[in-house]
């Protein structure tokens, strides 16, 4: 039976639903990819009123203090001198669960950090993992749908999840992390955070460097065994949020050491892997971690709704000296995150106290729902103008972003190794950690038909033979 043709909401046939339109195989996305724009815009409006992802969360205020000088890499004022401090707000979250879900589910944890710098808001919207399940944003709504509730039954179904992953080998690295011991952190204080994406830094000399941001927990790493996590899900579903709040109230302020990996701009073209691929990590022996500063959380919000629920983050918020990269997932999030916030909270969401920068805002935006200031008063709202209104400042011009290649929907699976880094992670685990990892995966596969299990096991075998053989044995699949 012939399958129906996939169309846009306007009925136009879709030529490609696997690969976004980019300038070159590694290049940035093109806004003319309206199938991607429509897909993300619709996805952001599927739930009312909670966040589509990261719905359940907790947050706290704190400070970031510079401990090492990196001004040779960036002119960003947040790093302008050892000892400089910047106020921050950090929101932790689970990803797939609804607002009423348990804090102890096996799920990545959101790590969304807002810096109130003296040159505007800087948001790092990351997770507690250095990689993600997808490298192409065109597939993000599909992936999340596979993790959400079955549209017919209303409950979550592991068949949907493993059926999707059987066709998504790029997820293997993140799957290995998710089902390892670190898949269920013991609260938010005992886990690392990562910017995950590749960003860029640029200095006063117009030089650009690629960068990865890491936040290493100074409390150490603690994880929950599945049995304890299940018990807490029933007895204390707000376990992680409660632990964070009560620790700060007691003066036990959690801290993270901010580290960076720096890659010279032209090094990206010489790598055997795509350094802008969100499913990959950079080797630490080539690009070692460098300490930058200390993040400390030291003040709880006064009102959960006003300060945690209404907090909105966007990787598009970068001050001068920090920039983007050709990372396809990052490029889509530059659009999707503020778009989601405008829908969820309103077009003036950045005027809310928790989202407002500390420096003065001098924009020409006017009107819109929930405009609760003087709406710009009598000052007109166009530029250029003859009344001495705010004007551009060319001194903060970012250096050109190098791109190359023709616009096309490039197949990122072709000649891309989705298995070695996941296998490397498996091979550094202890024997006991490997047993727990494969036990967790086998348990999550319970009830999944053999025809879906087999292609998944093939993926694990390609990561590491022992990895795949253990899972096959535990789910009763004969190879």
Residue 142 contacts by C-beta under 8 Å, 6 or more apart in sequence? 164
Per DSSP, the residues of 290-354 read EEEEEEEEEE--S-HIIIIIS----TT---TTEE--S-HHHHHHHHHHHHHHHHHT-TTGGGSTT
Higher-pLDDT residue of 372, 221: 221
The predicted pLDDT at position 13 comes to 75
pTM: 0.91
Higher-pLDDT residue of 242, 377: 242
The predicted pLDDT at position 3 comes to 78
Higher-pLDDT residue of 35, 340: 340
Q: 100-115, pLDDT tens digit by residue?
A: 899 999 999 999 999 9
| pLDDT class of 472 with cuts at 50, 70, 90 | very high
The predicted pLDDT at position 4 comes to 82
Model confidence at 479: pLDDT above 90? no
- Map 371-402 to HEC letters: CCCCCCCCCCCCCCCCCCCCCCCHHHCCCCCC
| pLDDT class of 43 with cuts at 50, 70, 90 | confident
Among 19, 35, 127, 173, the active-site one is 127
| pLDDT class of 47 with cuts at 50, 70, 90 | low
Model confidence at 329: pLDDT above 80? yes
365 in active site: no
| pLDDT class of 266 with cuts at 50, 70, 90 | very high
Angle, helix 140-147 to helix 158-165, in steps of 10 degrees:
150
Among 320, 321, 209, 197, smallest CA distance to 262 is for 209
298 in active site: no
How many helices (H) and strands (E) are present in the chain, helices listed first?
A: 12, 12
Q: ∠253-71-192 over CA atoms, to 5°?
A: 35
Whole-number CA gyration radius for the chain: 23
**Can you list the domains of the chain with their CATH numbers?**
21-356 (2.40.180.10), 419-479 (no CATH)
What backbone phi and psi angles, to 5 degrees, belong to 127? -135, -175
CA gap 216, 221 in Å, rounded:
9
Among 54, 59, 55, smallest CA distance to 91 is for 59
Model confidence at 48: pLDDT above 60? no
271-to-25, 108, 266, 277 alpha-carbon distances in Å: 14, 28, 10, 12
Average pLDDT, stretch 420-438? 98
The predicted pLDDT at position 79 comes to 98
What backbone phi and psi angles, to 5 degrees, belong to 337? -70, -50
Structure tokens at 409: 């929907």
Q: 145-173, pLDDT tens digit by residue?
A: 999 999 999 999 999 999 999 999 999 99
Assign 125 to helix, strand or coil. Answer: strand
- Residue 110: left if φ>0, alpha if ψ -120 to 50, beta else—which one? beta
Burial class (CB in 10 A: 0-12, 13-18, 19+), 106: middle
- Map 42-95 to HEC letters: HHCCCCCCCCCCCCCEEEEEEEEEECCCCCCCCCCHHHCCCCCEEEEEEEEEEC
Considering the chain, what is the average pLDDT of its residues?
93
Among 179, 227, 229, smallest CA distance to 470 is for 179
The predicted pLDDT at position 128 comes to 98
Q: 445-471, pLDDT tens digit by residue?
A: 999 999 999 999 999 999 999 999 999
The predicted pLDDT at position 9 comes to 67
Count of CB atoms situated within 10 Å of the CB of 49: 9
The predicted pLDDT at position 385 comes to 86
Average pLDDT, stretch 305-325? 93
| pLDDT class of 67 with cuts at 50, 70, 90 | very high
Among 35, 54, 214, 459, the active-site one is 54
240-to-59, 68, 73, 246, 276 alpha-carbon distances in Å: 11, 31, 36, 10, 32
Average pLDDT, stretch 307-325? 94
Residues 101 and 237: beta-carbon distance below 8 Å = yes
CA gap 321, 388 in Å, rounded:
27
Mean pLDDT is highest, among 60-64, 375-379, 386-390, 407-411, for: 60-64
208-217 and 255-264: which strand pairing? antiparallel
Among 320, 319, 303, 321, smallest CA distance to 311 is for 303
Among 91, 85, 98, smallest CA distance to 123 is for 91
């Amino acid at each position: 039976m012939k399958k129906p043709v996939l169309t846009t909401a306007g009925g136009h046939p879709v030529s490609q639903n696997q690969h976004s339109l980019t300038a070159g195989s590694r290049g940035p996305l093109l806004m003319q990819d309206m199938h991607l724009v429509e897909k993300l815009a619709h996805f952001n409006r599927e739930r009312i009123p909670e966040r589509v992802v990261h719905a359940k969360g907790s947050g706290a205020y704190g400070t970031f203090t510079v401990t090492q000088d990196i001004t040779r890499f960036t002119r960003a004022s947040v790093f302008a001198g050892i000892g400089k401090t910047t106020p921050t707000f950090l929101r932790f979250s689970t990803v797939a669960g609804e607002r009423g879900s348990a804090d102890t589910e096996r799920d990545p944890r959101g790590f969304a950090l807002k810096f109130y710098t003296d040159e505007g808001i800087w948001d790092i919207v990351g997770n507690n993992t250095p990689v993600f399940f997808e490298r192409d944003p065109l597939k993000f709504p599909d992936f999340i749908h596979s993790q959400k509730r079955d549209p017919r039954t209303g409950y979550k179904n592991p068949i949907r999840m493993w059926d999707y992953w059987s066709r998504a080998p790029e997820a293997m690295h993140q799957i290995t992390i998710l089902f390892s011991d670190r898949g269920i952190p013991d609260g938010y204080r005992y886990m690392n955070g990562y910017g995950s994406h590749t960003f860029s830094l640029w200095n006063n000399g117009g030089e650009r460097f690629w960068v990865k941001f890491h936040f290493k927990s100074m409390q150490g790493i603690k994880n929950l065994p599945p049995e304890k996590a299940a018990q807490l899900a029933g007895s204390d579903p707000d376990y992680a949020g409660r632990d964070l709040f009560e620790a700060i109230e007691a003066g036990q302020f959690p801290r993270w050491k901010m580290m960076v990996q720096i890659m010279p701009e032209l090094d990206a073209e010489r790598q055997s892997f795509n350094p802008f691929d969100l499913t990959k990590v950079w080797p630490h022996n080539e690009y070692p971690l460098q300490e930058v500063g200390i993040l400390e959380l030291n003040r709880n919000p006064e009102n959960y709704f006003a300060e945690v629920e209404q907090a909105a983050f966007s990787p598009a918020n970068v001050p001068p000296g920090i920039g983007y990269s050709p990372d396809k997932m990052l490029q889509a999030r530059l659009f999707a995150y503020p778009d989601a916030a405008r829908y969820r909270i309103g077009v003036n969401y950045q005027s809310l106290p928790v989202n407002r920068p500390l420096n003065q805002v001098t924009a020409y935006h006017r009107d819109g729902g929930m405009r609760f200031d003087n709406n710009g008063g009598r000052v007109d709202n166009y530029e250029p103008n003859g009344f001495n209104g705010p004007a551009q400042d060319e001194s903060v011009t970012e250096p050109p972003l190098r791109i190359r290649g023709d616009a096309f929907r490039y197949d990122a699976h072709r000649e891309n190794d989705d298995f070695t880094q996941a296998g490397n992670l498996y091979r550094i685990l202890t024997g006991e950690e490997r047993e727990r990892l494969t036990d967790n995966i086998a348990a999550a596969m319970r009830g999944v038909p053999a025809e879906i299990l087999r292609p998944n096991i093939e993926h694990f075998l390609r990561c590491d033979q022992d990895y795949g053989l253990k899972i096959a044995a535990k789910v009763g699949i004969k190879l």
